Amino acid sequence: MTAPSQPFSLWPLRLTGTVRSTTRALFFNGEKVGRGVPAEPRSGTRGRNENGCAPDAPTLHRPSGGYPLLAVRDLQVHFGSPANPIRAVDGVDFDIRESETVALVGESGCGKSVTAMALARLLPAPPARYVAGRIRYRSMDVLAMGDKQLRTLRGSEIAYIFQDPANALNPVFRIGDQIGEVIRLHRRRTDPRVETVALLRMVGMADPERTARAYPHQLSGGMQQRAMIALALAGQPRLLVADEPTTALDVTIQAQILELLQKLQRDLGMAMLWITHNLGLVAGMAHRVNVMYAGRLVESGPTREVLTHPRHPYTCGLLHAVPQLSGHGERLSGIDGVVPPPTRIPAGCRFHPRCPLARALCRTEEPELQTVSTTRGSRCHFWQEVDK
């Protein structure tokens, strides 16, 4: 299907009521960008930030080399009434450093996307309630930011690539108009038309001018996802959150998108939070991995160590579910049962109803995050006995 021949307009867009609410909150602010997040030079490779998380912030897995770009401490996000809370995220801690890729892994329903959306406070409150914890981005408390600060944070500092670009992109505006509006809001000294074409070329569009004139429905799934990536990059973010960006794509397009994101991160020096349920994708993408189950992190550490020597039964189960190209055609071993809904969290260890190593202690006492090494942690009473 060919795109219309007329050029895209890049006139100020009236987006109320038509843009998907989350994407609108991220990119299309509807007014002047505030000055809540101080601008810093973006030329060349970004150095280590000297004004990150407060020095007294508790942490279990903090590598050496300065403060993190993003520090999350004891994050708790609930839905429903305070009397009967739905604990979607229940005490999550992790760091992301400059130019680092961190993976957040787990089955559907574990709280990964809610955690990611909370980083820029994209979850409307109500129905969401940020009950406790801290989200510190470049030393600033995201949970205490006002509307103007959040408008600057979203898009120009933290940007998102969503799982389904067909729903995230606005169906009634051309691709060029949507990308250009982000540039107009966050980079007012840049020519939106020229930069839009440059971004579409950067993400691998064969004919960026034609793509800019197209509507989302005129693009294939892979092209829509590339346009979504260009939209996320338009504000020159320091942190890119990729929420299962390849799930709806076929295997060939998945590989192309993965390769593109890796190249863009190397070239632009961004940090990235990669959300996925597939540990097989993590090996070649992430420096560190956090495994999430039922609203909590159950294991964390450097990717190579976690994948080769897991220290939680849930991580082992995820690894056993990854198909192998080598071997003798053994049957894949899945994990029995399903992730419990946040309204029915079991007593004791949250994984014990599905755990092959569960014992009496696991059914009555929830384990703390145990220190496996200076860079690793496991929320398991018997992590020493866990063997892949």
Sign of the four-CA dihedral 356, 361, 363, 365: negative
Question: Is the same domain home to 101 and 218?
Answer: yes
Question: Is the same domain home to 30 and 98?
Answer: yes
What confidence score (pLDDT) does residue 334 get? 82
Cβ count near 255 (within 10 Å): 12
354 versus 8: the higher-pLDDT residue is 354
What confidence score (pLDDT) does residue 54 get? 31
- Give a yes or no: residue 12 inside a domain: no
- Give a yes or no: residue 89 inside a domain: yes
> For the residues 113-136, what does the mean pLDDT come to?
94
Reported as a single tens digit per residue, the pLDDT across 287-345 is 999 999 999 999 999 999 999 999 999 999 998 888 776 666 677 778 899 999 999 99
Question: Is the same domain home to 268 and 366?
Answer: no
Question: Is the same domain home to 104 and 30?
Answer: yes
Reported as a single tens digit per residue, the pLDDT across 256-290 is 888 989 899 888 999 999 999 888 788 888 999 99
Q: What CATH number does residue 218 fall under?
A: 3.40.50.300
Range with lowest mean pLDDT among 11-15, 151-155, 172-176, 372-376: 11-15
What confidence score (pLDDT) does residue 270 get? 93
In angstroms, the CA 340 to CA 87 distance is 11
Residue ranges of the alpha helices (H) in the chain? 21-26, 112-118, 147-156, 165-168, 175-186, 192-202, 208-213, 221-233, 251-268, 279-282, 303-308, 313-320, 360-364
Question: Is the same domain home to 244 and 371?
Answer: no
Closest CA to 177 of 215, 206, 223, 205: 215
Specify the number of domains making up the chain: 2
Q: Tell whether the model's pLDDT for residue 349 goes beyond 80.
A: yes
Question: Is the same domain home to 207 and 351?
Answer: no
Q: How confident is the model at residue 236 (pLDDT cuts 50, 70, 90)?
A: very high
- Give a yes or no: residue 92 inside a domain: yes
What confidence score (pLDDT) does residue 328 get? 67
> For the residues 113-118, what does the mean pLDDT come to?
95
| SS3 call for 311 | coil
Question: Is the same domain home to 150 and 200?
Answer: yes
In angstroms, the CA 381 to CA 358 distance is 9
Q: How confident is the model at residue 107 (pLDDT cuts 50, 70, 90)?
A: very high
What confidence score (pLDDT) does residue 327 get? 64
What confidence score (pLDDT) does residue 23 get? 52
What confidence score (pLDDT) does residue 67 get? 78
Question: Is the same domain home to 273 and 349?
Answer: no
- Give a yes or no: residue 48 inside a domain: no
Sequence-distant (≥ 6) Cβ neighbours of residue 159 within 8 angstroms: 26, 27, 232, 233, 235, 237, 239, 240, 241
Radius of gyration of the chain from its Cα atoms, rounded to whole angstroms: 21
Chain center to CA of 121: 13
- Give a yes or no: residue 44 inside a domain: no
- Per the structure, the complete domain to which residue 317 belongs is given by 310-325+332-385
- Give a yes or no: residue 263 inside a domain: yes
Q: 134, 71 in Cβ contact below 8 A? A: yes
- Give a yes or no: residue 46 inside a domain: no
Q: Tell whether the model's pLDDT for residue 352 goes beyond 50.
A: yes
Question: Is the same domain home to 247 and 199?
Answer: yes
- Give a yes or no: residue 14 inside a domain: no
Question: Is the same domain home to 267 and 380?
Answer: no
Chain center to CA of 338: 23
Reported as a single tens digit per residue, the pLDDT across 167-199 is 999 999 999 999 999 999 999 888 999 999 999
248 versus 143: the higher-pLDDT residue is 143
Q: 104, 287 in Cβ contact below 8 A? A: no
Question: Is the same domain home to 349 and 242?
Answer: no
What confidence score (pLDDT) does residue 320 get? 86
| SS3 call for 373 | strand
Q: How confident is the model at residue 18 (pLDDT cuts 50, 70, 90)?
A: very low
pTM for this one? 0.80
Question: Is the same domain home to 247 and 317?
Answer: no
Tokens standing for 53?
Answer: 């998380």
Reported as a single tens digit per residue, the pLDDT across 34-88 is 333 433 333 333 333 333 333 333 333 334 445 799 999 999 999 998 889 999 9
